[in-house]
Structure 1
């Protein structure tokens, strides 16, 4: 046969498959009504596994492909049932009653890691102009300050375009489950700075946060410097200024160098000219602005074949663009041959879209350890 003849056969088969698929979805709608009446769960793992095994066996050499096809059909069926029954009623209520960000006359207190002049401090001032910054030594102290109501918000870095994710922060996000109420990108320009009595010839060691050292690794190597981890870029600048040791330098921002009276030995020492860091603002209270355009979730999964694929397929079905997925081991949940994981996920969308809201609420019913972390505006 010619290619066109084969394609005509495919078109004829598809013309039969589509009506059958629609009939199957109609049956799923009826199943939803019965499950609601009899108070049965929508997701029946045993029933789905039986169907997948049966179709894989019946399809013979095409068994794996048939299994994948039917897994997608059942994802669509479950989504339809969840939408029909308005699943996730408690989460749906929380989202629909969430307030909008309110700027009160009282200046908000924003917790930042490090000291004045840090990049987190700059991000905080961009997100909350005129706010009062409160500084804490490490990331966990920022979360604790928000938890104890010492601060209205916390601003922390979550990922860098050169050095990747800040894993400690993702662990804290998954532990505290605070709401993310804002985010911003900063172009990061690093400066090699030292006290007045130092020069490139005298400097032997350079101090900064591990992320900053990673972002500037090429210049550090080129100058033959020994990198030393420090809690924060601005804190490293403060320490070098206090030590006044010509053998010590810090990698920090221009603002931090000015704040602590350091000389700039070299500008723009980052590996990439397009170096950017993303910061998020956390809060104990959920608020959703009208122009919210990004959603963050976290959840765990049963350790079964295709479980992550099944979840991600639900986003693909709605044409939603995933911008971040991060996996972190669950503490104290290691089995003989594998770890169990929490997943953190960002995607473009708004809960004002009913299809997006239905998806989030459906996943909250199906997935263990699920949390809706927020729907917020991503400020460039």
Structure 2
């Protein structure tokens, strides 16, 4: 057969499949009405697994592919049922009540000290705020929880060194919301008190900053030591002539250090993404980024089924990664970012259906990426 003939046959088969798919989705609407009447949950894991196992067995050599296709169909059927049944009432209420901006921005908690990269972000986003400096992320979250700070600025990922794992765990622990984000170009310098390379006995900085400058630091052939922040390293270097700090130029100047070398990071496009966290959910009307955290059932194709919902709704995923759940054995939360606004009905229905269906679901926020 010629390729054109085979394609005609495929088109003819597709013409038969599509009406059947539409009929099946129409049946899902009827199922929703029965479940509404009887108070039956939308998701029936046992029945779905029975169907998928049967389909895979009947499909023979195409069993795996058939399982994925039917898993996606059933996932979309559930999504339709959730929409018809008004899923996610709790999330809808939270979103409807969310103000566009935080009520107070006078006190902002952040990592490090004067001149740290976190401090730079605070100064850019909230120039009138009074910063509170901390050496540990846990202390920053507790400060916001206890009302000692209105908001906090936290680094969440770096273009070279990856995500800051501890922050994601704390976001789930405290159930805080992300209300804004900003990506800052990070330009590290090497600085010390004397201005002489020969005085350097060790180099100190935040572990992630040392990673970002690993190539240049290896050439110095001196020990490297971790500090709680880049600005804390600058403070140590100001007290000890044998210590050089990897820090920002502003931190070096704040602590009276001499800059020995600028832009020592491994890549020219080194950048860190910071988020602003709050106890209160705030959603600006122009928000364009959404962050979620969720867990999926331990069944074949469960994550694929969730991600297919985003594709079906035309959502662009910008990040997904997993983190182990504390106290669980090989169970993971998935952190996901995608572009969208909760005032778009398609987005809201997607989120509400996932909240009702997934075993763990946390809407982290809908916010703007500040320039």
TM-score (normalizing by structure 1)? 0.95
SS at match of 1:370: strand
Q: Distance in 1 between matches of 2:122 and 2:50?
A: 52
TM-superposed CA distance for 1:369, in Å, is: 2.0
Quote the residue 2:314 is aligned against: 319
1:237 counterpart = 2:228: no
Q: Distance in 2 between matches of 1:308 and 1:333?
A: 18
| Equivalent residue for 2:197, pick from 195, 200, 209 | 200
Q: Distance in 1 between matches of 2:361 and 2:36?
A: 22
Quote the residue 1:218 is aligned against: 215
Quote the residue 1:253 is aligned against: 248
1:136 counterpart = 2:134: yes
TM-superposed CA distance for 1:151, in Å, is: 0.3
Q: Distance in 2 between matches of 1:319 and 1:204?
A: 55
Quote the residue 1:168 is aligned against: 166
Work out the number of aligned pairs and report it: 371
SS at match of 1:117: coil
Query: Structure 2 stretches of 5 or more lacking a match?
Result: none
Quote the residue 2:5 is aligned against: 5
1:61-86: CA deviation from partner (whole Å, max 9, x where unpaired): 21111111101111111111111112
TM-superposed CA distance for 1:59, in Å, is: 1.4
Higher mean C-alpha displacement, 255-264 vs 300-309? 300-309
Q: Distance in 1 between matches of 2:297 and 2:13?
A: 36
| Equivalent residue for 1:185, pick from 157, 180, 183 | 183
TM-superposed CA distance for 1:304, in Å, is: 2.0
TM-superposed CA distance for 1:202, in Å, is: 2.1
SS at match of 2:323: strand
Q: Report if aligned partners of 1:174, 1:342 keep a CA contact under 8 Å in 2.
A: no
Provide the aligned C-alpha RMSD in A. Answer: 1.2
Q: Report if aligned partners of 1:127, 1:182 keep a CA contact under 8 Å in 2.
A: no
1:300 counterpart = 2:295: yes
Query: Structure 1 stretches of 5 or more lacking a match?
Result: none
Quote the residue 1:66 is aligned against: 66
TM-superposed CA distance for 1:250, in Å, is: 0.3
Q: Distance in 2 between matches of 1:20 and 1:137?
A: 60
TM-score (normalizing by structure 2)? 0.98
1:32-57: CA deviation from partner (whole Å, max 9, x where unpaired): 11111111111111111111111112
Quote the residue 1:85 is aligned against: 85
What pairs up with 1:46-125 in 2 under 5 angstroms?
Answer: 46-102=46-102, 108-125=106-123
TM-superposed CA distance for 1:326, in Å, is: 2.3
